Structures are given as C-alpha cells and as structure tokens.
Amino acid sequence: MTWTTLPALRLTVLVDDTDLWHHRPLSSEIVHRAHAAGLSGASVFHGVEGFGGRQTVHTTRLLSMTDDLPVAVVVVDEETRVNAFLPQLEELGIQGLITLEPVRAVRFTAPEE
C-alpha cells in the first residue's frame, strides 16, 4: 500500500444536539447537504460536555442538563469544494461556531499488480 498527502480544508460546524432544521437535527441536515454536494465525507461527533456563547456548561453528568450537548460536524475536502459548500451553511442560519482549518489529507492506494 502506498500513500500520498494532499492539501485540504477541514470545515467544523459546532452546534447543539437540539438544533433543528425543518424538524430534523441540524447536524443531519449538514451531512446530507455535504453528501448531495459531492464532498468527500462528513462525520458527526457528539460531545459529552461543553459550553458556547451563552457560557452555560452542558454535560451528561448532570441529569438536569442533558439538553443542548455539543455536536461537531466535520467535513474534509479540497479547499475550493469546501468553500463552494459554505453558502449552503449560510442558508441554515447556524447559530454555532464554524471553523476552517488547512490540513494535510492522506490518501492510501493499493499497489498496482
């Protein structure tokens, strides 16, 4: 197996697990839009504790505060493809944090026989 590295851009969208878009989890809507846009991939990571702009810590450790847990949607693709996807996020009116970070993606390929 051989590998190569490629420049890429990581898009991370941080929202609450209770955020909805037309009665559907916002994180799921972002993943489905990324898929429809032909991006390389998207993953949703559920946090067990966090806080945001309102400075209220939400955690699974306190039964009374199990709502609004942090969710991160991560997409990695070529910079031009990620930037072309950003207007779709704007349509969603996201209240959370969105970050863009340059990364190096590793692509593994099977050797030719």
Name the least confident of 12-21, 41-50, 52-61: 52-61
C-alpha neighbours within 13 Å on the C-beta side of residue 63: 0
- The domain ranges of the chain are 10-68+80-94
By C-alpha distance, which of 81, 71, 69, 67 is closest to 29?
Answer: 71
Q: From CA 63, how far away is CA 59, in angstroms rounded?
A: 8
Task: Give the pLDDT confidence score for residue 54 in this predicted structure.
Answer: 64
Mean pLDDT taken over the chain:
88
> Does residue 74 contact residue 46 with C-beta atoms inside 8 Å?
no
CA dihedral 91, 15, 98, 102 (to 10 degrees): -120
Specify the pTM.
0.84
Q: From CA 49, how far away is CA 90, in angstroms rounded?
A: 26
pLDDT tens readout for residues 93-109: 998 899 999 999 998 88
| 84 vs 58: which has the higher pLDDT | 84
pLDDT tens readout for residues 61-94: 655 556 678 899 999 999 999 999 999 999 999 9
> Does residue 84 contact residue 37 with C-beta atoms inside 8 Å?
yes
pLDDT tens readout for residues 33-53: 999 999 999 999 998 877 766
